[in-house]
Amino acid sequence: MNRRDFNLLMSVAGAGLLMSDRLATAQTSPTAPDGPVFAMLVHPKMILLDLLGPMTVFNMTRGKVHLVWKNKTPVSTDVGIPVAATTTFQDCPRDVDVFFIPGGLAGSTELMEDAETLAFVKEMAGRAKYVTAVCTGSLVLGAADVLRGKRATTLWNVHDLLSTFGAIPVRDRVVEDGNFITGGGTTAGIDFGLDVVARLKGDEVAKRIQLIIEYDPHPPFDAGSPEKAGPEITNAFLKVRKPAMDEAKAAALRAADRLKG
């Protein structure tokens, strides 16, 4: 895909991201008087699609989307396209409708030991109407000690780490527990986003958004879970990813130990 095609894709997706040589900033939708307010964490080494899937859906509510980080310096993503926050931890509105954390195993591993970010996450989780994450973003919620006793999901290969934080792991694409909503791995972000919008605006609005983005997936392969992919593909993946998974587990255990203290 060339740059022109990629720019067109971003525009059609409605993510509101501006491209130069690479993406350097993110623009957000105008605020409607009664539109919901979203605070979406961005962080180094995040999976860009973890952000863009839900953001595309949220953007269509005609609400206000804030991209939040410690500062407005663009952060790195898995595909090499940097994204800049539109507001900082200090300036971000606190009483938002949705607080959201995207995943990315390397980035989430670092955030689980980032005291400043965890403090911000905990504060936002105590005030947002809905507290949400997809993929390994759920581990960051856990490290901030806000998932204790909550049903939650995350990326399949680190799913067991949720129990480290006292959460109740549930293997499902989207899991709701009160005002906590978590999604599985990257592509679950669209399912998750539609679920959140249904909560905020009703099923009919969510269905219209699903139609607008033509979300009617027909993947060429049925290998989107370990059970469907089979042991050979799954074990090969786990072998390659073992070092990163071990680092994530170690960070989760250290975070859990700090919470006990």
Q: Are 210 and 201 in contact (CB under 8 A)?
A: no
pTM for the full model? 0.88
Tokens representing 98 are 């949705």
Q: What is the pLDDT of residue 185?
A: 96
In whole angstroms, give the CA distance from residue 32 to residue 58: 13
10 Å CB burial of residue 229 (0-12, 13-18, 19+) is middle
Average pLDDT, the chain: 90
Q: Give catalytic residue positions.
A: 135
Q: What is the pLDDT of residue 261?
A: 75
pLDDT at 29 over 60: no
Question: What does the pLDDT average to over 223-242?
Answer: 96
Rounded to 5 degrees, φ, ψ at 169 are -65, 130
- Mapping DSSP to helix (H, G, I), strand (E, B) and coil, where does residue 120 land? helix
Q: What pLDDT shows up at residue 220?
A: 96
Residue 232 contacts by C-beta under 8 Å, 6 or more apart in sequence? none
- Produce one character per residue of 132-159: b if its CB has 16 or more CB atoms within 10 Å, e if not: bbbbbbbbbbbbbbbbeebbbbbbbbbb
Q: How far apart are CA 26 and CA 7, in angstroms?
A: 13
| Confidence band of 24 (pLDDT split at 50, 70, 90) | very low
3-class DSSP state of 8: helix
- Dist CA 93 CA 168 (whole Å): 30
Which residue ranges form the domains of the chain, and what is each CATH number?
A: 3-260 (3.40.50.880)
Q: Residue range 137-157: average pLDDT?
A: 98
pLDDT in tens, 87-141: 999 999 999 999 999 999 999 999 999 999 999 999 999 999 999 999 999 999 9
The Cα 198–Cα 208 span in angstroms is 11
